[in-house]
Amino acid sequence: MKKVVLSVLCLTLASVLSWSSGQNEEGPVELNFWTWHPSAEIHQPIIEQFEAENEGVTVNLTVMESTVFQEKLPIALASEEDLDVIGIQAGLMPSQLKGYMTPLDDYFASVAGSDWEKIFNPLDLAISKNQTESDELLFITNGRYGSAIGLYNVDIFNELGLTVPTTYEEMKAVAAVIQEKRPDIQPVVFTGDTWFLDEMVLTILSQESDLFNDIRYATGGRWDDPAYVQALTDFKKMFDDGVFQNMNDVGYGRASELFDTGKAAIFYQGTWEAPRLSSKFRNDRGIELNNVGAMPMPVMRAGGKATLRAFPDGGMAIPEYSEHKSAAANFIFYMNGGDGFDMMNTDTFLVPNKVNSKLPAELFNSAEGREGWDLVVKLVSESTSHRNNMSAFSSVLGQYIQKVIGGDYGDDIQRACEEIQKEFATGKYE
């Protein structure tokens, strides 16, 4: 009898040790991992480090273009394709795919102990659970990006004796000085793509209102609300005053090229472009800018706050049919709460879900770069307006914004917003 009990205890202990190490008592484990971001170039050295630390585990990585990934993943899960780790795009994907996801809580407790939640930001964990409407953690996010934020060429600002504008009146003055003294460069550049025009207006809106959350989560918000009418009016004013030029024909690549080559003083985009604050990033990619800082969208009116909208970029999950859940959980924890995240974030510059994760000081060559990153972290961490975009409607809304900027509605911005609300109410974009 004692031999039987001892054998059972040994088997149980072996199982627990196997679970926590990510290994399988049956031998080598291959984890098949599909994602869309970041690139294989960024992933590969991290995976190699994980494999070196976890003998017998191999990670087979497949990185797809974003829309291809959105198309293929649901089909693969429904047909139980051989997958063990999957990327999850925040927004619609968690609610659509939650039925295929394995709860991570017990697996993470095995990897990092019963207090594993302390390793992560409570807000990020709450957002993950809310997206799947679950009390359990079905996917873990790696961090958040925000939009829109400005990156500025420090050398141009110093050359012209400019200070970083915090209000709209200061922004007008900065643009006027650049236009007068350096007519060879654009004061401000950003892509005129419809989705980003939507981002810009919603950033202005978030200075005084979290109306977008009410619209997004169907809690009474409307596009013809006075707060949105005012934000769209403010955005048009920036063009009317000459602070912004017509960007309709400026694509994302062209906008970044103008900034990277010193032909624009300020570049608006999301915080996923914050790596430009890093001298190492610029040097590695041949961007010949000496010094880059960050600035929020200028506050349009007294009482507003410098802010942006933020939301998790994405996360990772385990398909419920995977035969290697323990090893998969160990890898996911490494990539989000362990050394793997710190390695990845020197390229991705996420505001981390992992508590106490900081970017190495040697990534920056200036106070403006370091302080710019601190500003990004502050704005994203304190953001209350969610960047949980409605992609299909964002493009439609951006087309209305283009018409407003172009003068199609004159000064009757209210009419434009009523038409936007009418289109949204059709229900075609849910």
**Three-state secondary structure of the chain:** CHHHHHHHHHHHHHHHHHHHHCCECCECEEEEEEECCCCHHHHHHHHHHHHHHCCCEEEEEEECCHHHHHHHHHHHHHCCCCCCEEEEECCCHHHHHHHHECCCHHHHHHHHCCCHHHHECHHHHHHHHHHHCCCCCCCEEEEEEEEEEEEEEHHHHHHCCCCCCCEHHHHHHHHHHHHHHCCCCEEEECCCCHHHHHHHHHHHHHCCCCHHHHHHCCCCCCCCCHHHHHHHHHHHHHHHCCCCCCCCCCCHHHHHHHHHCCCEEEEEEEHHHHHHHCHHHHHHCCCCCCCEEEEECCECCCCCCCCCEEEEEEEEECECCCCCHHHHHHHHHHHHHCHHHHHHHHHHCCEECECCCCCCHHHCCCHHHHHHHHHHHHHHHHCCCECCCCHHHHHHHHHHHHHHHCCCCCCCHHHHHHHHHHHHCCCCCC
Q: What pLDDT, on the 0 to 100 scale, is given for residue 424?
A: 97
Q: What pLDDT, on the 0 to 100 scale, is given for residue 26?
A: 55
Q: What pLDDT, on the 0 to 100 scale, is given for residue 334?
A: 98
Q: What pLDDT, on the 0 to 100 scale, is given for residue 19?
A: 41
Peptide bond into 352 cis (omega under 30): no
Average confidence (pLDDT) per 10 residues, the chain, 430 residues: 40 39 63 96 97 98 95 98 97 93 98 97 93 96 96 99 98 98 98 96 97 94 98 98 94 97 98 96 95 98 95 95 98 98 95 94 96 97 88 92 97 98 92
Domains and CATH numbers, the chain: 2-144+313-363 (3.40.190.10), 146-310+365-424 (3.40.190.10)
Q: What pLDDT, on the 0 to 100 scale, is given for residue 105?
A: 98
